[in-house]
Structure 1
């Protein structure tokens, strides 16, 4: 794979702040989430050269599109050039979508002891399903070589895992940041931290 990919998760959402699971459902960005998206966009803007060489792809879920729009504004890229792609969607979390995490833990006190606990949701999408769609995306000859990808926490972890040929356990040992993003290039993954201003917190 000769692609260079800046991969980021959407900014903090209302459900994130409320400790609710989203999956395929959606909630809008908080003010902090908008600030996170803006900071990451500004950081990427300082790192890339000719913007015309970079394409922006994002999940079709609202929070990812909202983030991609803010990133494009920082980059000076017309948001009409954003391409949405179903393969970048978050895991479908089945019966647990919209549930409060503390309520799930109350019913299963050991739930969070496993890093892949999300996939315990009844009727959730399988890990193999998401691996398949990320592999399909990465090997798609129609996808440009210079990409900015806006995805989600879990799908982003699988994306990095597929790119670096990580094991299942290694994939889920990764963090799921909203104040950092990743450069995937030359078979290596670099984490780039972005600090938001105190006023936004």
Structure 2
């Protein structure tokens, strides 16, 4: 069982910047979203025995994980795993949406924009590292994972055996949790902030 969480809203999200491997702190809304996810997880996991939490090493995921842990009563301590970090677009990390669109070759479909940077990660590199992480989770493991938007798309796409184009267009809410269990993926919405 994996509960997959995306970090809460960041200052860069608010400014419509693609963060990639760069970082940005959570906004007040992002901190509230993290608390709501923690409240939901406390209901989903009333006894944390046998559970572990894993977070991306990027600050926004660590900050979200810390708030979730605190909200859950401090019953878990997140471990960090670089394999679940957000996809890097290299020198394009931190660009606003319109800046990125100006650099994207016009013959490249919009969902493929993430892989057009001359020094960013390729689809295959991202696929391989997230597949490696998923492959390290045993059938009976119980994990709460705090990751990112594009990384979360990949994780759900790999788990659900989706085609590339389906994977790249999955929603990436910051106020929901995805349960990956028994070959199915279920979205569980948090209470509104």
* Local SS of the residue matching 2:33: helix
Q: Alpha carbons of 1:74 and 1:163: their partners in 2 closer, same or farther (altered >3 Å)? A: same
- The residue aligned with 2:43 is 46
**SS state of the match for residue 171, structure 2?**
coil
Distance 1:60 1:77 in 2: 19
Unpaired runs of 5+ residues, structure 1, are none
Aligned length: 193
* Shift, 1:196, TM fit: 3.0
CA distance 1:46–1:78, change in 2 (3 Å):
closer
Q: 1:1-201, aligned counterparts within 5 Å? A: 4-78=1-75, 81-106=77-102, 114-140=110-136, 145-197=141-193
Quick one: distance in 1 between partners of 2:141 and 2:11?
33
Cα distance in 1 for partners of 2:120, 2:31 equals: 28
Runs of 5+ unmatched residues, structure 2: none
Report the Cα distance in structure 1 between the residues aligned to 2:100 and 2:61, rounded to whole angstroms. Answer: 25
Kindly provide the CA deviation profile for residues 79-105 of structure 1, in whole angstroms up to 9, marking residues without a partner as x.
6x2100010000011121111112333
CA 1:105–1:136 in 2, change beyond 3 Å: closer, same or farther?
Answer: closer
Change (3 A) 1:108 1:145: closer
Note the aligned Cα RMSD (angstroms): 2.2
TM (norm. structure 2) is 0.91
Q: Secondary structure at the match of 1:189?
A: strand
Give the Cα–Cα distance (whole angstroms) in 2 for the partners of residues 101 and 111 of structure 1: 17
Contact 1:105/1:111 (<8 A) preserved: no
For residues 177 and 128 of structure 1, the distance between their equivalents in structure 2, rounded to whole angstroms, comes to 24
1:141 shift after superposition:
6.0
Tell me how far 1:153 sits from its aligned partner. 0.3
- Match of 1:12, SS? coil
Write the deviation string for residues 30-52 of structure 1: whole angstroms up to 9, x where unpaired: 00000111111111111123112
> How far, CA to CA, are the matches of 1:78 and 1:47 in structure 2?
14
CA contact (8 A) 2:104 2:113 kept: no
